[in-house]
Amino acid sequence: MRLIPYHTRLAWRSLRRDPGLSATIVIVLAVAACIFSTALIHYLRLYGPRPELSPGLHQVEIGVDDRTLRLAFVGSTAAPSRLAPHTRVSFSNYQVLAASGIPARQMATFRSRLWVASDGGAAISTGIVSSELACARNARFVDAAFFTMFSQRLRWGSPWSREDEVADRPRVVLGRRLNEDLFSGDDSTGQTVRIDGRPYVVSGVLADDAPVNAEWDPAAAGGGQDAVYLPFADQQRLQAWPETPYYLTPVGPHHEELLKSDAVFVTFWVDLVTPEQRAAYQRYLAAELGRRGLRYRLRDLADWREMVKIPPSVISFFTLLTLIIFAGSGLIVARLLLAKGLVRGDELGVFRALGAPRGALFWRQIIEATLLSAIAAALGTLLAFPQAAFYNRFVRDNDIPLRMSWLAVALIFAATMAVGIGSALYPSWIASRRRPTMTLGRA
């Protein structure tokens, strides 16, 4: 241990002595790390860790007859989503659920398509519809509790409050990307946006894009980012039709008729933090729903995640493949380090003659490989950022962009270090086993 600083200094000198060889090793590892990073961040986008949420979160399911469900689109004959009856309730049933007063927190949500523009008629800057004043965007209606119940991080400002909801103040939270489109990514809190022509004050801006596996609404999973978040009650003011309602029976053309219908489109979550709350809520459901002969179920978060599992994807295979290629680059590095050890044989022989045991020389070589790997890991990780940006701009397979999270950075760095150090084990062992007489005799 006491020799680590000394060996680090010697290793650093050694790297500078063979700059070409050192640079080659670094580039081989960094390029491999960069290739690996592409597959890795795809993988993490799909299967990455999910946020810690309250264990008391439950979703209320009210059973409907799958055979009678019809897709919202006129003339569609497609079968309804398998998840639809498990994740949505009708507006009238939502009103029953929301009136319990039992959960610590509760929230309802559905998604619509609304026209969104910056105030004053400024054109949206993305160029998607640059000649128009507004674009149709995904607008999500949520209760204020949504942001805390689902751990949504805000970059600027805060969500609207319960008081704002009660006072019917027009408040809105922007998604990260809409904020970039309308306000060039600057802090837009306090600014006004127009939604279906009505002014709304921006109270906050989300920090992240929604995850692929958004718990709050599986219909939004896998893409179709929500651009703007509005108070749930505003769906009546805006006469907003849900993006994909499922009808049991025909519904008239007016919004009021939708709300009174048995169409299902609201996802409803409650946070029941104590066993007493859970028991009380079960009794409430039995009284209000069971009495009417409705099938219902209180599904906890673990059950929910099991039900809406992300299906297997080819990205797992490609991640493994790039990791194997990465490990293969370790073989090239191992050969380069063997060559380096050969070139440095005389010096290692002198160190042996002066009293350095084999173990010390082995660790000295490993330290040198660690330095090289750390440089390569830093370079590979840095390269991964512009590569992800390039992918998002020019390739883009999904509405949810690739993102270099801290976890991705840590994994890329750790994998590069592991490959670099692993590839140095054999060359270091060989170097430390060299007979000093051979090298000194040749010298």
Partner 1 sequence: MIDDATSAETPMLRMRDVRKVYRAGLVETEALSGATLTVSKGEFVAIMGPSGSGKTTFLSVAGLLDDFQGGDYLLDGEDVRRLNDRRLSRLRNQKIGFIFQSFNLIPDLDVFDNVDVPLRYRGLPAADRDRRIEETLSKLGLVARMRHLPGQLSGGQQQRVAIARALAGRPQLLLADEPTGNLDSTSARQIMDLLARINAEEGMTIVMVTHDHEFAARAHRRLHILDGTLIDPRAVPAGSHMPAAPARG
Q: Closest separation between CB of residue 357 and partner 1, Å?
A: 4
Residue closer to partner 1 (CB basis): 2 or 309: 2
Q: Closest separation between CB of residue 23 and partner 1, Å?
A: 17
Q: Closest separation between CB of residue 2 and partner 1, Å?
A: 7
What type of residue sits at position 23?
A
Q: What is the dihedral of CA 361, 365, 366, 368, to 10 degrees?
A: 140
Asked if residues 234 and 68 have their Cβ atoms less than 8 Å apart, the reply is no
Residue closer to partner 1 (CB basis): 201 or 431: 431
Residue closer to partner 1 (CB basis): 16 or 309: 16
Strand-strand pairing, 171-174 and 198-206 = parallel
Residue closer to partner 1 (CB basis): 262 or 346: 346
Q: Closest separation between CB of residue 436 and partner 1, Å?
A: 5
Residue closer to partner 1 (CB basis): 78 or 354: 354
Sign of CA dihedral 116, 119, 121, 123: negative
Residue closer to partner 1 (CB basis): 196 or 347: 347
**What Rg, from alpha-carbon coordinates, does the chain have?**
30
**Which positions ≥6 away from 430 have C-beta within 8 Å?**
338, 341
Sign of CA dihedral 436, 438, 441, 443: negative
Asked if residues 154 and 206 have their Cβ atoms less than 8 Å apart, the reply is yes
Q: Closest separation between CB of residue 377 and partner 1, Å?
A: 26
Q: Residue 329's CB: how many other CB atoms inside 10 A? A: 23
Q: Closest separation between CB of residue 147 and partner 1, Å?
A: 57
Q: Closest separation between CB of residue 432 and partner 1, Å?
A: 10
Asked if residues 305 and 86 have their Cβ atoms less than 8 Å apart, the reply is no
Q: What are phi and psi of 181, to 5 degrees?
A: -70, -45
Q: Closest separation between CB of residue 349 and partner 1, Å?
A: 8
Q: Closest separation between CB of residue 29 and partner 1, Å?
A: 24
Residue closer to partner 1 (CB basis): 101 or 441: 441
Return the closest-CA partner of residue 213 out of 301, 137, 339. 301
Residue closer to partner 1 (CB basis): 17 or 162: 17
Residue closer to partner 1 (CB basis): 135 or 348: 348
**Which positions ≥6 away from 414 have C-beta within 8 Å?**
none
What type of residue sits at position 90?
S
Q: Closest separation between CB of residue 355 and partner 1, Å?
A: 2
Residue closer to partner 1 (CB basis): 49 or 359: 359
> Applying CB under 8 A, which residues contact partner 1?
2-3, 6, 13, 16-17, 346-347, 349-360, 435-437, 440-441, 443
